Structure 1
Amino acid sequence: MNSTRARLSFAILVLLTLGGAVGCASTPRGAPPQDFAARFAGPIERAHGMDRWRAAEAVRTELTVVFGGKQSLAGTLLFETKGARSRIDTVDGATLVFDGAEAWVTPADAAVPRARFHLLTWPYFLAAPMKLRDPGTTLTDRGAMLMGGERLPAATLTFGAGVGDTPDDWYVAYRDPTTG
């Protein structure tokens, strides 16, 4: 994946986490949770190439993180599609690794604030369309909500106790009814 396309994909997925749009059709309220999750997430997964995702062992992309107008991280991100392991090789020469349980940085004296956050957050956000139905996640129908001047089908994504580092986080995902 080229750098421009990776940045564009990253920007789109960040929008998802902030309430951006992803595609599907409307779902009636009151549907059983599993049925709703399948109807909401299924078209999103197809639109984002779930079959190719499942066939891949890992994803590699260039990553630049900017908070408050300041670059906080830049480098190459590599992460598993079916596991939790991730690695970031920064442009400054540091290597950040999450081995599935622990995060570490080398060299040991490298100044990389919030290494664990970076190792867990960016792979999750980049993979968000493929993670909507992961074990421990719940999608709740929000009906149609206004986003960008348009009413779109929406769902709240929440996490069960003990899921991830921040199980109290939640996100609103919107679906584009035409792009699925």
Structure 2
Amino acid sequence: MKKILLLFILGCVASCKNGVKNESFPLKLGKVFEKHGGIDLWRKAQILSFNKGEEVHTADLHSRKIVINSPKYSLGFDGEEIWLDVENSDSFKGNKDFYYNLYFYFYAMPFVLADDGIIYEKVADLVFEGTKYPGYKISYQANIGTSPDDNYILYYHPKNYQMEWLAYTVTFNSKESNHDYHMIKYTTWQSTNGLLLPKEITWYKMDEKGFPTEPEKPATEFTLPFISEAKLSDSFFEKPIGQ
């Protein structure tokens, strides 16, 4: 609870300035980032937090340390170790190594697709209900992150450059690249301190040609978005002691 309350204090702390990097992403993808608030504003931010159901996800945007707090468990990455703190063995049934940053990546779109070590490739448009959505494939240089063989495809609206779809592969278990794409529609966005961040995302079924058809399950909703230019202490992301 103390960790969650700290987030409300951050809004009053002085901001921290960061230098601007030389950009290497495609011009039109840059327009997508600009539509969502701009890379400069994103890179000034230090802390991102959001709720998914009872889970409170909090991330340091520069170190990528993360903690997830919920009534029955806490899960996090302290910069060296992925840890799990549970009430009992039934409190958390997932794979902590896979889950700890899963929704951070989905929530921090499209900005996480401007990370270092990324390779961009223009792909064919995605056609859905008569609209053609231009897209870019994102792959990673070797040894970047925990799953460097993962691929993403970002599709944006042709008129306003707002992100609309994300196709992605999962290689966590196999550790091998594949073409088995999953598809998410970014159905609703909300403005938070100048950045356009997801409010709802919906997984879609896909046909044999790889085009989305209909929702696979109800939308996943994100609430209580928070972003700040102030930092949290390293201890915030450490496993609780004696709990």
- Aligned to 1:116, the other structure's residue is in SS state helix
Distance in 1 of aligned mates of 2:87 and 2:96: 12
Match of 2:27 in 1: 39
- Scaled by the length of structure 1, the TM-score of the pair is 0.66
Match of 1:126 in 2: 107
Distance in 2 of aligned mates of 1:54 and 1:114: 30
Match of 1:63 in 2: 52
Matched length: 137
Shift in alpha-carbon separation, 1:148–1:138, aligned structure 2, 3 A: farther
Structure 2 unaligned segments of length 5 or more: list them.
1-21, 162-243
Distance in 1 of aligned mates of 2:36 and 2:147: 25
Task: Note the C-alpha offset of 1:153.
Answer: 1.2
Q: Which has the higher contact order (CA 8 A, sep 6+)?
A: 1
- Aligned to 1:37, the other structure's residue is in SS state coil
- Aligned to 1:132, the other structure's residue is in SS state helix
Distance in 1 of aligned mates of 2:28 and 2:128: 17
Shift in alpha-carbon separation, 1:108–1:80, aligned structure 2, 3 A: same
Task: Note the C-alpha offset of 1:99.
Answer: 1.2
Match of 1:163 in 2: 144
Whether 1:48 and 2:41 are equivalent positions in the alignment is no
Instruction: Write 1 or 2 for the structure with the bigger share of helix.
Output: 1
Task: Note the C-alpha offset of 1:141.
Answer: 0.5
Match of 2:75 in 1: 96
Match of 1:179 in 2: 160
Give CA deviations for 1:54-91 in whole Å, capped at 9, x if unaligned. 23211111014xxxxxxxxx410001122210000013
Structure 1 unaligned segments of length 5 or more: list them.
1-33, 65-73
Distance in 1 of aligned mates of 2:113 and 2:68: 24
* Equivalent position to 1:81, from 46, 58, 61: 61
Distance in 2 of aligned mates of 1:107 and 1:91: 9
Task: Note the C-alpha offset of 1:133.
Answer: 2.4
Match of 2:134 in 1: 153
Instruction: Say if 2:26 and 2:120, in contact at 8 Å, map to a contact too.
Output: no
- Aligned to 2:146, the other structure's residue is in SS state coil
Whether 1:140 and 2:91 are equivalent positions in the alignment is no
**1:103-114 mapped onto 2 (5 Å cutoff):** 103-107=82-86, 109-110=88-89, 111-114=92-95
Task: Note the C-alpha offset of 1:108.
Answer: 7.9
Distance in 2 of aligned mates of 1:117 and 1:57: 23
Distance in 2 of aligned mates of 1:81 and 1:49: 16
Task: Note the C-alpha offset of 1:157.
Answer: 1.2
Q: Percent identity?
A: 23
- Aligned to 2:132, the other structure's residue is in SS state strand
Instruction: Say if 1:139 and 1:155, in contact at 8 Å, map to a contact too.
Output: yes
Q: Which amino acid aligns with 2:49?
A: R
Instruction: Say if 2:133 and 2:158, in contact at 8 Å, map to a contact too.
Output: yes
Shift in alpha-carbon separation, 1:36–1:142, aligned structure 2, 3 A: farther
Instruction: Say if 2:47 and 2:61, in contact at 8 Å, map to a contact too.
Output: yes
Greater gyration radius: 2
- Aligned to 1:123, the other structure's residue is in SS state helix
